[in-house]
Structure formats: C-alpha cells, structure tokens
Amino acid sequence: MNLMLNALVIVATILGSGMALPQARRLARTRRADGVSTIWVGVSLSLNAWWIAYAVSAPVWALLPVSTISFALYSFMAYVFVTSIGPSSLRGLLVGVFGLGMVPLPFLVVGGWELAGVVVGLCYGLQLLPAVVAVMRTRALAGVSAATWLIAWIESFIWLVYGYVRSDTALLAAGVLGVAMTSGILIRLGVTGHQPLALFARIATSPRWRKAQPSLS
C-alpha cells in the first residue's frame, strides 16, 4: 500500500508541476488570453502559497515540490498577462491574490492549520471557479490550453484517491472539487469545438509514439 501511495504522489507531483506549463507556454507564444481568467491566475498564485505553508506545517512534504513549481509558473503567467495585456489585467490579479486567495486566513487565525488546511482544500474549487466562469461566458477560447485542464483532471483524481486512503480531508476535498471543476472546463471545450481530447489522438498517431510501441508481428 505504501509503495502504491508513493507512486501516486510521484505521478501527482509530476503532473501538478507541469499542469500550468502548457497554459503558460500558450500565453507566452500567442500573447492571446481569450477565455483565460486573470482572477484564476491570481487566486492560483495565492493558494499555491497556502499549499506551500500547509505542506511545511502539517507536514505533508509530498505537496511541497508541486506547490513550489506551480507557484513559479503562475507567477510567470501573471507576468505575461501584465506585459501582453497591460495594466488592465492587474485588477483581476489583485482580486485573485488578495480577495479570493485570502479566504483561509481567518480560519488559520481561529483554528490553526488543522482547520485552515481543510479550507485550503475546499478553496481549490474556489481557485478553479474563475476559470470555469471564464470559459462558460464565451465561445472564443483560443487562449485556453486543453492540455493544462487534462493534466489538472488527472492530477485532481490522483490527489482524491491519495487523500481518501490517507484520510487527509484537505487533499480529499481538493481532489473532489478539482475533478468536478476541470470536468466542466473540458466539457465546455468539447461543446465549443475545441476538441480537448485531440491531444491524446496526436500523441497516439505521432511517428515517435508508433516507433516506441512493440511490434505484434
């Protein structure tokens, strides 16, 4: 069981560390933010800082690498937003960081990290909510990276399983809400014709992938 849990943590860490990378690359390459929420970037910055603090205080060291790398990637996305869209993006970023991102603070003051950790887990849904709202409000989703949300779905499911097995309420709550929110985004991308599962088709049909497969003849 411990071996399986350790394997899950490794996979979740790799996925979580890379979750924001496709979206960050897409923003940097295209300088288009259609369908991407600045509030989502801001609240993601803040909540990854909370996860870093929770990982050290709980302690749940498995969370530390993914939270640290994710914090760096969301910081980069915030930079891209400000430099490509301009100062108008600062309002959404600040609302995310100092508005929604500060929800766990009073719970930390009242109940310490045991209560604050659960709230941080529940806030994962709050973190993704601006992204869900953004994709639901428009069909112009050229700026949204389907790869980021596929990775986020898989990562959320893994943390759900890990949190359930370890009886960690914070991780369980984050996993359940993450699966629900990312499913909504992927369904919306599919409905609007952006084919979120096309990534798997491209991988399966790529010459490099075919060459790596064992021959059945």
For 141-157, write each residue's pLDDT tens digit. 767 777 878 888 888 88
Nearest to 29 by CA among 130, 139, 137, 145: 145
Instruction: Answer yes or no: is 120 within a domain.
Output: yes
Look at phi and psi of residue 31 and say left if phi exceeds 0, alpha if psi is from -120 to 50, else beta: left
Q: Measured between alpha carbons, how far is residue 140 from residues 132, 134, 186, 189 in Å?
A: 14, 10, 14, 10
The answer to whether residue 184 is domain-embedded is yes
Look at residue 64 and tell me if it is in a domain.
Answer: yes
Q: How confident is the model at residue 18 (pLDDT cuts 50, 70, 90)?
A: low
In a domain, 180, yes or no: yes
Q: What is the residue-wise DSSP string for 177-192? A: HHHHHHHHHHHHHHHT
Is 18 a member of any domain?
A: yes
Q: Mean pLDDT in the chain?
A: 78
Does a structural domain hold residue 8?
yes
Domains in the chain: how many in total? 1
Contact between residue 5 and residue 165 where contact means Cβ atoms under 8 Å apart: yes
* Structural domain for 127, as ranges: 2-212
87, two tokens: 């100062």
pTM of the predicted structure, to 2 decimals: 0.65
Segment among 133-137, 142-146, 159-163 with least mean pLDDT: 142-146
The whole-angstrom separation of Cα 208 and Cα 137 is: 38
Q: Is 75 inside a domain boundary?
A: yes
- The answer to the question of residue 217 being in a domain is no
